[in-house]
């Protein structure tokens, strides 16, 4: 299957690499491919520049958002949650129409602590669905570190992943994708329609705050997972 993974940060790279390992074709979407490839310095948390990462993953393509979205039969939103709508607008409604979009991002405003924007009475998942009514949005994988997203065995014992969305067939296809990542059959909990995205997004600030208060040196890594580069 052909996937467009929008976003060049940790989560986007991790998802893209896993999809390729499963035999899928993948193009990563970014605002400006030439600018992305021209970066030579590590990012703000020390990850190698995208060009260096791509050298180690030559099967992964890179294109502007619109070209990537047109390529993908399905789309993964791994952009920064606070700029996801802008990125998806650049991808183009005509390139997204009728496709399943797995929304793994959280609208974290790190300048405030972190906090959600929007939050409580709305969610990024709902905003995306309203802005692109022909898109089949499924919120998933946004409650955990990106390494766990694609390899749940990194966490010992039974644990769960949540999905929600308005389209039953889309949720079924995302559930199958999660199973291919290693999530057991009974680990996927369907919370219902896309309104439930506001509840799963609420989990992000608490686990990020816990990491911060426990003094984890990789706190900024997890912050970037919640809000990836484009």
Are residues 33 and 60 in contact, defined by beta-carbon separation less than 8 angstroms? no
Question: Tokens 């990850």 identify what position?
Answer: 47
**CA dihedral sign, ordered 185, 188, 190, 191:** positive
Least confident of 25-29, 76-80, 199-203, 219-223: 219-223
**Largest separation between any pair of C-alpha atoms in the chain:** 45
Comparing 27 with 215, the larger pLDDT belongs to 27
108 or 215, greater pLDDT: 108
Is the backbone of residue 151 left (phi > 0), alpha (psi -120 to 50) or beta?
A: beta
122: tokens are: 């709305």
Average pLDDT of the residues of the chain: 91
pLDDT band at 85 (very low <50, low <70, confident <90, very high): very high
pLDDT at 43: 75
Q: Which residues pair with 140 in a beta bridge?
A: 163
> 3-class DSSP state for residue 75?
strand
pLDDT at 223 over 60: no
Structure letter (DSSP) for residue 47: P
The model's confidence at residue 221, banded by pLDDT at 50, 70 and 90, is: very low
Q: What is the pTM of this model?
A: 0.93
What percentage of residues in the chain have a pLDDT greater than 70? 92
Query: Residue 100 — φ and ψ, nearest 5°?
Result: -85, 130
Given a cut of 50, whether residue 226 has pLDDT beyond it is no
């Amino acid at each position: 299957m052909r996937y467009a993974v929008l976003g060049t940060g940790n989560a986007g790279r991790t998802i893209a690499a896993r999809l390729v390992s499963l035999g899928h074709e993948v193009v990563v979407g970014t605002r400006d491919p030439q600018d992305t490839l021209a970066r030579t310095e590590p990012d703000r948390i020390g990850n190698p520049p995208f060009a260096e990462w791509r050298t180690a993953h030559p099967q992964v393509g890179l294109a502007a958002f619109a070209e990537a979205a047109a390529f993908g039969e399905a789309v993964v939103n791994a952009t920064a949650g606070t700029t996801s709508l802008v990125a998806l607008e650049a991808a183009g409604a005509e390139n997204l129409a009728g496709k399943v979009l797995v929304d793994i991002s959280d609208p974290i405003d790190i300048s405030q602590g972190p906090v959600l924007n929007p939050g409580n009475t709305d969610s990024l998942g709902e905003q995306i669905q309203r802005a692109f009514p022909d898109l089949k949005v499924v919120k998933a994988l946004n409650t955990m570190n990106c390494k766990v997203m694609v390899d749940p065995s990194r966490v010992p014992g039974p644990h769960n992943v949540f999905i929600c969305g308005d389209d039953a067939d889309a949720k079924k296809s995302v559930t199958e994708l999660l199973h291919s990542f290693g999530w057991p059959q009974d680990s996927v909990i369907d919370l219902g329609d896309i309104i439930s995205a506001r509840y799963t997004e609420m989990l992000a600030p608490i686990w990020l705050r816990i990491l911060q208060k426990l003094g984890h040196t990789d706190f900024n890594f997890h912050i970037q997972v919640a809000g990836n580069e484009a």
